[in-house]
Amino acid sequence: MTDLSLFSPEQIADLLAALPDPAFILTRSGRYAALFGGSDARYYHDGSSLVGKSIRDVLNEEKTHFFLTQIAIALASDDLHVVEYPLARDDIKGLETTGPMQTIWFEGRVQRLAHQVLGEDAVLWVASNITASKKLEAQLRRQSETDALTGLANRRKLIIVLGEHYTLFLRYKTPMAALIFDIDHFKRINDEYGHLAGDKAIAATAEVCRSELRASDFAGRLGGDEFVVLMPHTSAEQALPIAERLRVRVADQLKSMGTLGAGATLSGGLSQLQEGDASSEEVLKRADEALYRAKRNGRNRIVRH
């Protein structure tokens, strides 16, 4: 423990003011009793005007409730309480139209104080701006879940979302249809025109998925030229016209690419979650079986299982 007698009151005040992150003294009722630090002007504005105000004076009802809850949690323990939270301009009163456009993320490190302040139990709340790390985290998450060629979900993300819909089906019987499709004679495109041409065909197919599917539908690339579309709140019967429209639109798009897409068509298999499915992947197995029936029956068609 540092011997504070080594420093004059003025030096201690200078040390506290030099803290890069702002450190608030907050009472149980949410009053800003004091503010130290926040000297890093890259991330923080001068918050000295907050002292003497209540959180209720500054934040909307939802955020006020959040902060008071975190203060109560910290006061109930001797341990450091760490919490991450966003602040948007509409969270702060008076900044609804003039505040920063982007949401700012903070890590709060909240510690109960051993003495009361202004007649109340109080905490020290150190707020660190973690927006940059949150953006990097979100970027890495997107990269880990996105197929680089198409921009659609990759196989990993598809399986996660499929599992979520399976859970909803088990709990609430919420229907979901699944379509598996691929480009007919895709190997011929690769063999005759090269893999770059094949990549163009795959990317064009993904673009059609983005433009033609409903906002609630979830499309992803399973691998190669094989795609999956999950259609929540939709039975296989209801999904059939959606799948047929997609089949026609993909063929039109590929044909528009000239010689590369001449005669290119799409085949697909369609199924839905069913009572008795032991896992989420059973619906994909049925859709895959239907896809192979579509291939055997002449391609350029959707077969429903």
Cα separation values, 105 from 89, 109, 148, 169, Å:
12, 13, 28, 35
Lowest mean pLDDT among 184-188, 267-271, 293-297: 184-188
Residue 88: count other Cβ atoms within 10 Å of its Cβ.
16
Q: Which pLDDT score is estimated for 263?
A: 75
Q: Which pLDDT score is estimated for 155?
A: 95
What pLDDT band is residue 95 in, cutting at 50, 70 and 90? low
Assign 3-class secondary structure to 227-262. EEEEEECCCHHHHHHHHHHHHHHHHHHHHCCHHHHC
DSSP string, 253-297: HHHTTGGGGTT--EEEEEEE--TT-SSTTHHHHHHHHHHHHHHHT
With residue 183 as reference, give the H or E element that holds it: strand 176-183
Higher-scoring residue by pLDDT: 105, 2: 105
Cα–Cα distance for residue pair 49/29, rounded to 1 Å = 18
Q: In a 3-state reduction of DSSP, which class is residue 106?
A: strand
Q: Which pLDDT score is estimated for 89?
A: 85
Cα–Cα distance for residue pair 292/11, rounded to 1 Å = 78
pLDDT in tens, 17-54: 888 999 999 999 999 999 999 988 888 888 889 999 99
pTM above 0.85, yes or no: no
Tell the residue number behind the tokens 């983005």, with chain if given. Answer: 210
Q: In a 3-state reduction of DSSP, which class is residue 112?
A: strand
> Average pLDDT in the 261-286 region?
92
CA 66 to chain centre: 21
Q: Which pLDDT score is estimated for 100?
A: 61
Length of the chain: 305
pLDDT beyond 90 at 258 = no
Tell the residue number behind the tokens 């009151």, with chain if given. Answer: 9
Q: In a 3-state reduction of DSSP, which class is residue 152?
A: coil
Cα–Cα distance for residue pair 43/115, rounded to 1 Å = 30
pLDDT in tens, 273-283: 999 999 999 99
> Average pLDDT in the 63-88 region?
96
Q: Which pLDDT score is estimated for 44?
A: 86
pLDDT in tens, 230-244: 999 999 999 999 999
Domains of the chain and CATH, by start:
4-137 (3.30.450.20), 146-304 (3.30.70.270)
Q: Which pLDDT score is estimated for 261?
A: 64
Cα separation values, 56 from 44, 88, 104, Å:
21, 16, 19
Cα–Cα distance for residue pair 213/242, rounded to 1 Å = 8
> Average pLDDT in the 288-294 region?
97
Cα–Cα distance for residue pair 198/254, rounded to 1 Å = 11
pLDDT beyond 80 at 94 = no
